[in-house]
Amino acid sequence: MDITTLPPVFLSHGSPMTALEPREAGLWWRRLGEHLAATGRRPRAVLVASAHSLTREPVLLAAPRHEAVHDFGGFDERLYAMRYDAPGAPALAERVATLLRDAGLPVHVVPQGGLDHGIWVPLREIFPAADVPVLPLAWPPGWSPAQLFQLGQALAPLVAEGVWVVGSGSITHNLRRVFAGGLHGREDAPATPESTAFRDWFAERGAAADWDALLGWRAGAPHGPSMHPTDEHLLPFYVAAGAAAAEGPPQARRVHQSLTFGELGMDAYAFGPRAELLAALT
């Protein structure tokens, strides 16, 4: 059987409402899924590190089957009826656990499952039939970008084994700024200068594979603390990037850019030499 090797990616998953109102990012996810199906590049499984599955040490959710977790409140009632019942990947969880232990990293494997909205909202557009096995990797938000890059490096062998490594978060995430004008602001508001500067800095440093700068983003990126008062939504970027580092520091290529409310970046990145596979979708 041919093995599909996809570049690790970072997806900005946005609000749960993206499941009802896809806008530019949701439509890009849909095109991505159609592209993978049309080119025969569907992965054998997806490993996802999401900003909404956080633990004190890495934990693999190795249930044989998952359901969508509605881990939010106060949204459109239609969201709570949405399902995403996807197969799990218990055997893959054991393989991943071995890789992490061999790298000297702690890891726990539990038989429980469930996909937070950072996982099921984009996957519902990419693989609408919910027929690709999913393995959530919960991770410690107290780890530094360098530690999470190392975690990703331990996952690098999976790429050649047909596993798609995905980090799900947000390239910018300051909800106080997003909703400064109230809960019903304009989704199509023009980009603020601060959001644009931060997002463009990441794109430029990523294209140059400047990992000294990227790992130290909080000190060097323009408006860094304002774009991420806490950094859990940016940290999955480093897990996915590390998974592409088998052959050296990877390039981070921005393969989609859009935003909502003028602030909340919905950019997507592909990492490493295979990033060009997704470049045509930009």
Q: Is residue 38 part of a domain?
A: yes
> What are 254's strand-pairing partners?
269
Q: Are 46 and 6 in contact (CB under 8 A)?
A: no
Instruction: State if pTM tops 0.85.
Output: yes
Which residue has tokens 């900003």? 51
Share of the chain above pLDDT 90, in %: 84
Q: Is residue 1 part of a domain?
A: no
What is the chain's alpha carbon radius of gyration, rounded to the nearest angstrom? 17
Give domain status of residue 2, yes or no.
no
Please report whether residue 145 resides in a domain: yes
Is 4 a domain residue? no
Cβ proximity of 278 and 9 under 8 Å: yes
Cβ neighbour number for residue 270 with a 10 Å cutoff: 27
Are the C-beta atoms of 84 and 127 separated by less than 8 Å?
no
Would you state the structure tokens that stand for residue 169, as one six-digit string?
Answer: 């978060």
- CA dist 114 and 228 (Å) reads 26
Whether 271 is covered by a domain: the verdict is: yes
What proportion of the chain, given as a percentage, has pLDDT over 70? 96
In a domain, 274, yes or no: yes
279 pLDDT band, cuts 50/70/90, is: confident
What is the number of domains present in the chain? 1
The span from the CA of 37 to the CA of 25, in Å, is 19
The widest CA-to-CA distance across the chain, in whole angstroms, is 54
Q: CA 212, CA 189: separation in Å to the nearest integer?
A: 33
> How would residue 282 be classed by pLDDT, with cut points 50, 70 and 90?
low
- The pair of three-digit structure tokens given for residue 122, joined into one six-digit string: 């984009």
Matching residue, tokens 């900005």: 12
139 contact partners, CB below 8 Å, separation of at least 6: 49, 53, 54, 55, 58, 59, 148, 151, 235, 236, 239
Handedness of CA 226, 151, 137, 30 (dihedral sign): positive
What are 219's two structure tokens? 């000190």
**pLDDT at res. 181:** 57
Amino acid at the residue 96: V
pLDDT for 105-153, tens place per residue?
A: 999 999 999 999 999 999 999 999 999 999 999 999 999 999 999 999 9
pLDDT-wise least confident of 2-16, 60-74, 99-113, 223-237: 2-16
Average pLDDT, the chain: 94
CATH of residue 184: 3.40.830.10
Q: For residues 86 and 76, is the Cβ–Cβ distance under 8 A?
A: no
Residue 203 lies in domain: 9-279
Does residue 120 form part of some domain?
A: yes
Q: Which helix (H) or strand (E) holds 270?
A: strand 268-271
pLDDT at residue 1, as a whole number? 41
